[in-house]
Chain A
Amino acid sequence: MTGTASGTIPAAELLQAYRTMRTIRDFEERVYKEFQTGQMPGFVHLYAGEEAVATGVCDVLTPADYIASTHRGHGHAIAKGCDVVAMMAELYGKATGTCKGKGGSMHIADLSTGMLGANGIVGGGPPLVCGVGLSAKVRGTDQVGVSFTGDGGSNQGTFLESLNFAAAMNLPVVFVVENNGYAESTASSFHQSGIDVAKRADGFGLPGVVVDGQDYFAVREAAAEAVGRARAGGGPSLIECKTIRYFGHFIGDQQKYRAPNEVADAREHRDPLKNFRARVTRAGVATDEQLDAIDAEVAELIDRAVAQAQAAPFPAPESALEDVYVSY
């Protein structure tokens, strides 16, 4: 968590990073399968393929920092430390879920880990972390707020207003843009004026950088600098991560807007987990056996999460109005 240079990340942190990415991948692959059985209610947007972004960013945050997520929020929640068993139960709408089964995929929130919530509102996260930043500044803490937004969300007024507000107030905030090339089914070449969202930061007077979102080390290095800068009073910044989603916009999306070999090619050549494994084993900082052991432990965890979620009760009808209103 402390090493900013990719050359100085302790081996234990690298193993944990792999575990996080593997957990996100297996969680999403399993949800894809289970959703199609019809037992999982609601609407699901999968994060598989983008693991290096959530992991690389959240690995440089402290438990006291906050993130605000998107409709594609499972990866962010796992990377920020939410309990995977409770998350799976939440997707099943069960009483043991992260939000007692009342939130579902798009509203998983866990304030105890600093996860302000997945968010059904596109571009909804950036204003929330401006609140985090303002709060930290007023209270004099060194907390940092990080929002995740897609390329589609970056066209929303909320995103642009937040860049302005954070820059004007010099807030300890980092705006992470996960540019997976599509706003739902519209390619970014159609919906963006200019291919790099990062360049928009220039207009508001904050630094914007572009990194390969499939590369954990590139994301982490940029995030470490941006978060460190925010914590030190250096104000907001924007990191655009060029990434790829392996599934459709939602489960059920026919993806006719994508080239036939696009995802297969990405899984073969630009996979963040394969990329990570190849590099850390070749560099001698981890072994295949260590990573295989993590794979097995994560597989067991996901099996257990599904089994416990399926066995758990639904929330009682009379609890419907609980946790809806807050007393001040």
Chain B
Amino acid sequence: MTRVGIIVNPASGHDIRRLISAATVVDNSEKGAMTVRLLSGLGATGVDEVLMMPADLTVSRAIDRIARSLVVQGLTAPLPSLTWLDLPTTYHARDTIAALAAMVEAGVDAVCVLGGDGTQRLVHGRVDEIPVLPLSTGTNNIYPVWTEATVAGIAAGLVATGQVSREQGCVREKALEVTCAGRTEAALVDVGVISDTFAGARAIWRPDHIHEVVVCFADPCAIGLSSIAASVIDLPRGSDHGAKVVIGDGPLSRVPIAPGLVVDIPVAEVTPVTLGQTVSLLDVAGTISVDGEREIERYRGEPATVTLTEGPWRIDVGRVLGATRLQRAST
């Protein structure tokens, strides 16, 4: 019996970036359609059951409507049986956390998470060694990828059913654990020192409010805070270290800080951060951001540290499908 958990964040994709920038909009019907595409890929590889986090009606009805249509037409491989977890829906991060716990307890072989960076980071430390497929439905996402969900479902199914091993098809990601004001939060991409006094509407788009950034990796194709690091160093995904970037007197980097917003930011200093290393953040009153959202309000003199650790096993769609091709060629 192969089981896969799916989490769809019904609230992703409607933060303030739709007002302050030209951010993408993904509606919940599309998230439902993505889920059906995912199910068809999972079913085609032999996944028996999918455990779903309860989402909102537009998601669940879209899944039901489209899945029925596919089954009636007989156009796709059998879909896995779908079980909705019996959990309360509060439309808060706690829903995802509770669903992850239920999925781990049920012994799922893989987890698929549809949401933005803010949803994905909740996975860190909550799924043991279970491989995770992160699919983007949010705004300026870096950690989850835009991939056709049918193909992604095939990849997740191949890993879940053991046809491709975790070591063959997955990448061990890194994570940043930031501690300040008695709180610890995880980030999978970046932690920022921001001088907005309050978390407010959470997004970050004022370049002069950014003072320091710590990154797990710096993809030159990425948008947001990690693009500052990517403008000055080569730190691809899967590198064995991260980096700390201090903003200040230094050469200007022209970076895409949010969708449609390209700004100049002066970079003063870049230092590598090794796995297991703990670094202190600049003493700036304001907020600490995790994966692009102001999260922890920090007051003058409050120390803050960040530790680079091992993160979740990410199912890499390209690697999985490449591995199956190699397997075919070798048999």
Contacts and interface: CB of A to CB of B under 8 A. Distances in A.
A284 B299 contact: yes
A283 B197 contact: yes
Contacts of A9: 197
A195 interface: yes
A285 interface: yes
B297 A279 contact: yes
B27 interface: yes
A209 B14 contact: yes
A229 B286 contact: no
A258 to B, nearest CB: 15
Nearest to A282: B299
Interface in A15-42: none
**Interface core residue of A192, A198, A208, A225 (most chain B CB under 10 Å):** A225
Contact of A208 (B18, B56, B61, B196): B18
Given A193-B58, A222-B201, A6 B27 contact: no
Nearest to B89: A189
Given A207-B19, A218-B202, A225-B19, A285 B14 contact: no
A194 B28 contact: yes
Contacts of B195: 7
B25 A202 contact: yes
Interface string A222-237: 1001100100000001
Interface residues of B, number: 32
B210 to A, nearest CB: 12
Contact of B300 (A226, A240, A284): A284
A183 B57 CA distance: 17
B209 A218 contact: no
B10 A220 contact: no
Contacts of B11: 195-196, 210
A148 interface: no
Contacts of B58: 193-194, 199
- Residue of B18, B89, B202 with most partner-chain A CB within 10 A: B18
A237 B19 CA distance: 8
Please report whether the interface of chain B is mostly helix, strand, loop or mixed according to DSSP: loop
Interface string B77-109: 000000000000101000000000000000000
Interface string B4-23: 00000011001110111000
Given A7-B209, A194-B58, A209 B19 contact: yes
B200 interface: yes
A47 interface: no
A5 interface: yes
A208 B202 contact: no
B143 to A, nearest CB: 21
A229 B297 CA distance: 27
Nearest to A283: B197
A279 B285 CA distance: 13
Interface in B26-66: 27-28, 56-58, 61
B286 A7 contact: yes
B89 to A, nearest CB: 8
Contacts of B16: 209, 211, 221-222, 225
A195 B56 contact: yes
A159 interface: no
Interface string A256-298: 0000000000000000000000010011110000000000000
Contacts of A215: 199-200
B14 A221 contact: no
A215 B200 CA distance: 7
Contacts of A210: 11, 14-15
A196 B10 contact: yes
B180 to A, nearest CB: 13
23 contacts: A5-B196, A7-B286, A189-B89, A192-B57, A193-B57, A195-B91, A196-B11, A199-B27, A207-B19, A209-B14, A209-B201, A210-B15, A211-B201, A217-B201, A218-B202, A221-B201, A222-B16, A222-B19, A225-B16, A226-B19, A283-B197, A283-B297, A283-B299
Interface of A: 5-7, 9, 189, 192-196, 198-199, 202, 207-211, 215, 217-218, 220-222, 225-226, 229, 237, 240, 242, 279, 282-285
Given A207-B19, A226-B19, 10 more contacts: A5-B206, A6-B199, A189-B57, A196-B11, A196-B28, A202-B25, A209-B14, A209-B16, A220-B200, A242-B91
